[in-house]
């Protein structure tokens, strides 16, 4: 089987909903997801897995209970498993996520309006 190339800009152009990650590729039990973010998310953690954020376009602040990290376009941050965090984007931000298969975007927080289907693909 010949691997298929993935056009990130094309995939992002198909995403309409905010805070609803979509799987674009899978690799060894991990999923690569694209998402558009704007506004505030919920405090949560992922007790069983790390989570990586790569900013493709825009700016993303990730709040932690003891501070915050601002990510600019082209920058990446890995949130270690079990660390409570809350993403925030003042204006629309396009992000690539790397997560273990089946990871729910709201982690251990109660299901809410921002909880999305962890198996949604684009």
Provide the token pair at 65: 């209970």
Residues 59-101 have pLDDT tens digits of: 999 999 999 999 999 999 999 999 999 999 999 999 999 999 9
- For the chain, the straight-line distance linking the first and the last C-alpha, in angstroms and rounded, comes to 21
pLDDT at 113: 80
Which of the residue ranges 12-16, 61-65, 118-122 would you say has the lowest mean pLDDT? 118-122
Give the DSSP letter string of 58-104. Answer: S-EEEEETTEEEEE-TT-EEEEPTT--EEEEEEEEEEEEEEEETT--
What dihedral do alpha carbons 8, 11, 13, 14 form, nearest 10°?
Answer: -170
What confidence tier does 104 reach under pLDDT thresholds 50, 70, 90? Answer: confident
Q: Which domains does the chain have, with CATH numbers?
A: 8-100 (2.60.120.10)
User: In residues, how long is the chain?
Assistant: 122
Question: Residues 20-66: pLDDT tens digits?
Answer: 999 999 999 999 999 999 999 999 999 999 999 999 999 999 999 99
Give the C-alpha separation, 120 to 122, whole Å: 7
CB count in 10 Å sphere of residue 12: 19
Q: Which pair of structure tokens corresponds to residue 40?
A: 């505030």
| Nearest one of 12, 8, 18, 5 to 105, comparing CA atoms | 18
Per-residue model confidence (pLDDT) at position 111:
83
User: Does position 112 have pLDDT exceeding 90, yes or no?
Assistant: no
Cα gap 87→109, rounded to integer Å: 14
């Amino acid at each position: 089987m010949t691997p298929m190339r993935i056009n990130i800009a094309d995939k992002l152009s198909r995403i309409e909903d905010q805070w609803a990650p979509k799987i674009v590729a899978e690799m060894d039990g991990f999923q690569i997801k694209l998402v558009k973010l704007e506004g505030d998310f919920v405090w949560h953690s992922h007790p069983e897995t790390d989570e990586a954020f790569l900013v493709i376009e825009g700016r993303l602040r990730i709040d932690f209970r003891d501070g915050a990290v601002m990510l600019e376009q082209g920058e990446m941050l890995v949130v270690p498993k079990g660390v409570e965090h809350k993403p925030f984007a003042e204006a629309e931000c396009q992000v690539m996520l790397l997560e273990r298969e089946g990871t729910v975007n709201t982690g251990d927080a109660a299901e809410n309006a921002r909880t999305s289907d962890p198996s949604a693909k684009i």
